[in-house]
Amino acid sequence: MIIIDIIFVISLIIILLANIIIRHISKELREIPNKTKLSGFEVAKILSNKLAKEEPHIIKKHGKYLDHYNYERNVIKLSDEVFDGENVYSAIVAITVALETDSEKSKIAKSHKFTAIMVLIAYSIIILGAILSNYLFIRFGFIIFIIALIIEVLVLNLYARTEEDIDKLWDFINKNKVLEPFEENKEYMSIFLITSIARLPYSFINYFR
């Protein structure tokens, strides 16, 4: 059974590393202006209008790293710094969130909510196990958390399954002129997709805001 504990610790390390990477890059990109002079709101609006079957409502919410798309309400929620920001960081975050409005990629947003609920359940079971001094409960909570992380990792493949899909994605973003310079910042968009992994431990907060 100790293998479960080891895998859980490894999962936490992966999440910690993802947070370190995202926070480090975010700090750098906040200092670089988006030469299109589009705000995060405008970037999300341009892309989502072309991807979604029905135009989503875009709102500003206070808080950091909780930018997401609620597919049930068809609402894009952006933090104030992303909503109003005209830097590369704001544009990239708005782009990654807007991509989830694509009707062909509906499984992405659905999976994010599913894993968020799984994490909340995992916390509840772990706490209950601690109260009852029942380590079987605690380990069961660990297992649910680990599965949630694995699902989030697999979800990354839904954005683009093949090299051709990746090229089409880059071409779509580039043609809409929402980020300049595009080529210099293209790789950062790939990195920012792991934001869902970094925020997994607190992603359930999205659905109470």
Query: Tell me: the pLDDT tens digits for 133-182?
Result: 999 999 999 999 999 999 999 999 888 878 888 889 999 999 999 999 99
Give the confidence band of 129 by pLDDT, cuts at 50, 70, 90. Answer: very high
Q: What's the confidence (pLDDT) of residue 113? A: 92
pTM over 0.85: yes
Handedness of CA 107, 105, 34, 73 (dihedral sign): negative
Q: What's the confidence (pLDDT) of residue 205? A: 87
Handedness of CA 15, 18, 24, 26 (dihedral sign): negative
| Cβ–Cβ < 8 Å for 169, 159 | yes
- With a cut of 80, say whether residue 204 has pLDDT above it: yes
pLDDT digit string (tens) for 36-72? 999 999 999 999 999 998 999 999 988 776 899 998 8
Number of other CB atoms surrounding residue 112 within 10 Å: 24
Q: Give domain limits for the chain.
A: 2-200
Q: What's the confidence (pLDDT) of residue 103? A: 84
pLDDT digit string (tens) for 99-113? 999 988 889 989 999
Minimum mean pLDDT range among 24-28, 88-92, 98-102, 187-191:
187-191
Q: What's the confidence (pLDDT) of residue 209? A: 66
Q: What's the confidence (pLDDT) of residue 161? A: 78
| Cβ–Cβ < 8 Å for 123, 141 | yes
Q: What's the confidence (pLDDT) of residue 108? A: 92
Q: What's the confidence (pLDDT) of residue 66? A: 80
